[in-house]
Chain A
Amino acid sequence: MLIRYFPTNTKFEFMRYRRMSFPFSALLSVLTVVLFFTVGMNFGIDFKGGTLIEMRALGPTADAGAIRDRANALGFGSVEVQAFGDGREVSVRVELQPGGERGQQEVVARMREAFEDAYEFRRIEVVGPRVSSELVQSGTLGVILALVAILAYLWFRFEWQYAIGAVVATLHDIVLTIGFFAITQIQFDMTSIAALLTIMGYSLNDTVVVYDRIRETLRKYKKRPIGELLDQAINDTLTRTIMTGLSTGFAIIALAIFGGEVLRSFSYTMLFGLVVGTYSSVFIAAPILVYLGLKQGAETAAPADATAAAAE
């Protein structure tokens, strides 16, 4: 059994690493903000509006260059053509047309006219200006609501310090993931919001496991310095952190390799989020508690300890 080769009772001093991890994360976050405002993200039609068409050549190969020329000649302004998959498939993105909701309809008709003979139309998405602005709203609202809900839940289940710590760590994950989108220029659409929220869920899952252990350790040892206790709690859960990270990682890698074109960027984002989320639980969420003034052993009459009761 491989698990026997895992070192037990590790004594990593995570509290000391925070002198590196905090500035490192801060730097990356600032970099993300700079990137966001200079390079920007590659927003998909969900948020920008416009038309997305995926075509597959009926012949052996798709000529992206020729498609670009012909699509540009249709006079729909900025047209992005990208080959993907086995070389037969091409995606064409046409920017939002003037003329409100009705203005978009002509794009598909004209594109069909131009390419129907040589290409199979596999996907057509048209998002008008109103829907796209609503999706921006609901996407942003979703992320904010999730943060608020998490804050409330952890406050209720733990203490406010934990809630703050978890939200800071989650914000950190969101910011870095946005940076990932800015650097890779992976298209940012509604599926990306799903990935972002899943990353939040996973990272929190990780953070809560560590926090659970911190709370337990704090109750057990009332005299030892807090830094030491935090270190111990992180070390105690380290094997679990790694095992779960690896198994989730395997699942996501399979998704990235075999899940097809549609899920590929989703999988890459998830993989990035897995790494960042695991990192933030250990190196951000836990160490930050040192600054938030946790009360040691104060929770003697804490909310009925479900685990102790269930053990009987």
Chain B
Amino acid sequence: MLRFTKSKVIAILAAVILGILLAVPSMMTREQRVAFQNSIPSWVPSWLVPTSAITLGLDLQGGSHVLLEVDVPDLLRTQTTQLRDDVRRILRENRISLQGGIQMVQRGVQIRVPQQADRDTLLPRLRELAQPVGNAILGPTGNNDIEITTTPEGLITLAYTEAGVTERVRRAIQQAIEVLRRRVDAMGTTEPNIQQQGADRILVQVPGLQDPQQLKELLGRTAKLEFRLLGQTGAADTDMLPMREEGGRRVPVERTVIAEGADLIDAQPAFDSRTNEPIVNFRFNIRGAQRFGDATARNIGRPLAIVLDNEVVSAPTIQSAITGGSGQISGNFTVEQVNNLAVLLRAGALPAKLTIIEERTVGPGLGQDSIEAGTLAVSIGSALVAAFMIAAYGFLGIVAVVAVAVNVALILGVMSALGATLTLPGIAGILLTVGMAVDSNVLIYERIREEARLGRSAVSSLDQGFGRALGTILDANFTTLLAAGILFFLGTGPVRGFAVTLSIGVITTVFTAYTVTRLMIAGWYNYTRPKAIQI
């Protein structure tokens, strides 16, 4: 137990020094870290010098955590509307008119085509709408996203399959993440984290935010912009949509979309030169400009509805053909509203409505307070434990304190290396590890004491003491690791951070007990050569 080969000693020391080096940047303030980084000569390869500090959780650095969920029914509604439009287009192209029109059914649409000849021309075209659904790992699964069924009476139903819905949700999530990233980036924050969670959720984490309200406004809006003509009340193919002004009075709006948000290439907040009212200036791409120009030329004198998220923002009358490919949106906005609207239009519309189902925001002041309180608690707690150990065990107490100090450095080092996040409960986890790491030393010392009392020689009591205690240490710590592991898989955010620190702490505790403590005691024994152990 007390003999170490030279290579082993070197390996242990190397591991400890590496751990401490990795931990050093985390101990520095941001300014010191930058200065340190700049002071490294350029010929030193960057991987050789650790400069990255532990990532602080949102509860410590302040920031917002927002969990969004795709509104699947809303997504399906959009998708079936799309399907209806596709079917209508195919009908028109083949000059087939229906009795009863296109009926919306569960997850799809239904049409009645009594003529066999019509059905024969229609069906192949309709089948083209269905796409095979596959996945990246298995390739095509042989399922289609849309199932087409017919009855002998001529009833044709097109409906999304289960696989089709899953596929749409998956694609919507991918698309939404892109859109959200553009929106959050437009806020100019540093290191936002946007990732998928589960099948239909997106987690957005933005550190160091001053105003979470703006973030939520940017995240929660679908921002679907459409230019449509105002129609006649009661006319076919119109939707009754509420006005943003005038107490939400509903007006008929034609279903045909002249141009939409996807046709924009730019949108900027500005002020109207005459009224000084905040507005958004936008520019169309070529396709959009063409369509918008044609439509306005054909409909001079009619009101054009600017529809945002199914709400009529304003409905100015078309004075002349707008062929320049640019325009403006006004509607009694505040400056802040036009700023947000411009960001939303530039970033594009979300493929479906997203609902905020969880929000956790910590202000930067509270985060700083938490760091200070946590650091203070760890310092005082460690000092107390150290004083207690030295008072109780004398020299061996010092060995224990060194072992625990190495342990804490290793925890920080491993966390920096793994890119793990330190949260406030995580700091509690470190302090708890300090308390419990002492346990392994206590176990070893008590065992040595016992063996010495049985009248064994110094070397034999040390040997036996270590040998027996290490088995216990392993068993005892493994159970804590089990609990921490489960906490990791089930917890989120700060709690997960706690589980990470606790798990790493347990592992480094066992490591230091096996190596650092043993090495120090072996060194002490070889130096003093006591006949008997007296503790």
Contact = CB atoms under 8 A, between A and B. Distances in A.
B380 A258 contact: yes
Given A193-B495, A307-B467, A259 B374 contact: yes
A126 B1 contact: no
Given A142-B487, A197-B487, A254-B377, A259 B428 contact: yes
B67 interface: yes
B63 to A, nearest CB: 11
B535 A142 contact: no
Given A3-B393, A240-B446, A260-B369, A208 B479 contact: yes
B118 to A, nearest CB: 44
B212 A101 contact: no
Contacts of B381: 250-255, 258
A123 B361 contact: yes
Contact of A244 (B216, B436, B470, B499): B436
Contacts of B484: 197, 201
Interface stretch (B164-172, B239-247, B267-275, B437-445): B437-445
Interface stretch (A30-38, A59-67, A263-271): A263-271
Contact of A141 (B476, B477, B490, B495): B490
A195 to B, nearest CB: 9
Contacts of A27: none
A270 B432 contact: yes
A3 B535 contact: yes
A2 B470 CA distance: 24
Interface in A88-115: 101-102, 104-105, 108-109, 112
A266 B432 CA distance: 12
Contacts of B382: 251
Contact of A105 (B356, B377, B397, B449): B356
Contacts of A4: 535
Contact of B482 (A127, A150, A253, A311): A150
Nearest to B357: A128
A124 B392 CA distance: 46
Interface in A47-94: 54, 56
In the complex, the 7 A-B pairs of residues with the closest C-beta atoms, listed nearest first: A260-B373, A311-B467, A254-B381, A248-B435, A251-B435, A307-B471, A201-B480
Interface of B: 1, 59, 67, 69, 212-213, 216, 220, 355-363, 365-366, 369-370, 372-374, 376-378, 380-382, 384-385, 388-389, 391-394, 397, 424-425, 427-428, 431-432, 434-436, 438-439, 442-443, 445-446, 449-450, 453, 463-464, 466-468, 470-472, 474-480, 482-484, 486-487, 490-492, 494-495, 498-499, 502, 535
15 contacts: A1-B394, A122-B365, A126-B360, A128-B357, A145-B486, A212-B472, A212-B475, A212-B476, A237-B446, A247-B389, A253-B381, A255-B381, A255-B431, A258-B380, A263-B424
